[in-house]
Amino acid sequence: MQPEYPTPAHGTRVVVSPPTIVLGREAVTNVGEYATLHGSKALVIATKQIFDIHGEQVLENLNDAGIETVTYTDVRPDPTVTNVEEAHARWEAQDCDVIVTIGGGSSIDTGKAVGVLATNDGSIREFAVDEAGYEGVPNPIPPLVSVNTTAGTGSEATRSIVVTDSETSTKFLVVSEHVVPDVAIEDPELTVSLPQNHTAFTGIDALTHAIEAFVSVKSHGVSDDYARSAIRRIATWFPKAWANGENIEARTEMMIGQLQAGQAFTNSSVALVHGMARPLGAQLHIPHGLANALLLPYVMEFSAMAAPEKFAEIARLFDVADDADPDQVAARKASDAVFELCTDVELASYLEDFGEVPGREAYREVVPKMAQDAIESGSPANNPRKPTKDEIEGLYIDLYGGSLDPDSSRRSNTNSSVE
């Protein structure tokens, strides 16, 4: 029988994190050892691209430890309900007892979702926040070992699952402490193979997690400390990892930074950026990290007035402001620093290959739906400045003119400030 988690007393915090984190070069060689603590037959989940790179090594380590393996390698970069259902069918047909994921958020989220279906009755959509609420998964998932190959999502440390509903072109969110992985394998050598473009939008994805956790109305002392460390670490090491993917020190620091960012937001919350990024990604087929990164400086500029002390601290963590600057002055520098970082790593240029940006009028037609979907996600309610639907629509329009439009300054990689 699965254990029942107690309901926290009013006013208390539940701080979650993977029970075991294995961090460092060659950490992946421990995957078999840790899997044997939890089961004997593993469903190994990955995208085909990631499996082709790292699958043989992981399977060998599992097999050497005596673990039987079954694979599911059809995960999409933004995993779908179909991915989850197919992988779960394989779990049941093969009578597996432990889940091993290889990759970043897509593989890990699929593994978590399979786990939800393995121990709970219903479709994965029924456990979404908009239907079941937060902590809406009744029973803990089976053991999950996550071999992380990116430095961005932090999904191996979180209680969140994001799944795409292809039929409605929307993404939905499942949140429960019952889905936090049992083991996170953090081997920076596995991120060396990450292409420069994915290094860019997974790195800014991690920064988004840290910043949103820090400014969220649900933040607290523990999550703030995770977030501060992540912001400073990412601001320092992300450009170095992007410029030279073989810089192991930079890759290691980014792996730590994204882990801390994941620990920050899963113990606080995400906010307006994520609320807007999910519908933007679903409508324009933009990877989640890239959608976050495109929106981040615009939402920061919009939100700074509501929490100037927090945004001022972000600017100081980026070393673009100091203690002599009044908070209101320093706060305005935070979005500029993030915008400059995004421009330095040529973020908007990746829209050429990742995403389907419609013409201006076609885009405007879907803006009201995206804004409504953003509000219904619940994430904007955690933002320090509470946006109206009209304000969210305005941010989407600003984003198109400043970043999505092929003629925008950001697409042409100039260093202009946010307008």
CA separation, residue 371 to residues 134, 157, 239, 276, 281 (Å) = 21, 29, 32, 7, 13
The identity of residue 319, as a single letter, is D
Query: Coil, strand or helix: which one is 44?
Result: strand
User: For position 9, what pLDDT does the model report?
Assistant: 55
User: For position 244, what pLDDT does the model report?
Assistant: 96
Pick from 162, 191, 220: which residue ends a domain?
191
DSSP 185-252: EE-GGGGTTS-HHHHHHHHHHHHHHHHHHHHSTT--HHHHHHHHHHHHHHHHHHHHHHH-TT-HHHHH
Query: Coil, strand or helix: which one is 72?
Result: strand
Answer yes or no: is 270 within a domain: yes
230-257, pLDDT tens digit by residue? 999 999 999 999 999 999 999 999 999 9
pLDDT band at 207 (very low <50, low <70, confident <90, very high): very high
The CATH number that applies at residue 354 is 1.20.1090.10
Q: Are residues 183 and 241 in the same domain?
A: no
Answer yes or no: is 13 within a domain: no
The CATH number that applies at residue 122 is 3.40.50.1970
Answer yes or no: is 200 within a domain: no
User: For position 68, what pLDDT does the model report?
Assistant: 98
Number of domains in the chain: 2
Q: Are residues 334 and 252 in the same domain?
A: yes
Answer yes or no: is 132 within a domain: yes
Q: Calculate mean pLDDT across residues 135-147.
A: 97
Q: Are residues 258 and 334 in the same domain?
A: yes
83-110, pLDDT tens digit by residue? 999 999 999 999 999 999 999 999 999 9
Q: Are residues 186 and 265 in the same domain?
A: no
Q: Are residues 217 and 169 in the same domain?
A: no
pTM of the model: 0.89
pLDDT at 12 over 90: no
Q: State how beta strands 160-165 and 170-175 pair.
A: antiparallel
**The token pair that represents 309 in the structure block:** 């002390």
The identity of residue 129, as a single letter, is V
- What is the pLDDT of the chain when averaged over all its residues? 92
Q: Are residues 28 and 166 in the same domain?
A: yes
Q: Are residues 401 and 260 in the same domain?
A: yes
Q: Are residues 183 and 213 in the same domain?
A: no
Pick from 133, 163, 191: which residue ends a domain?
191
What residues make up the domain containing 121? Answer: 20-191
- Produce one character per residue of 327-356: b if its CB has 16 or more CB atoms within 10 Å, e if not: beebbbbbbbbbbbbbbebebbebbeebbe
Q: Are residues 119 and 262 in the same domain?
A: no
- Helix, strand and coil percent figures for the chain, each rounded to 5: 55, 10, 35
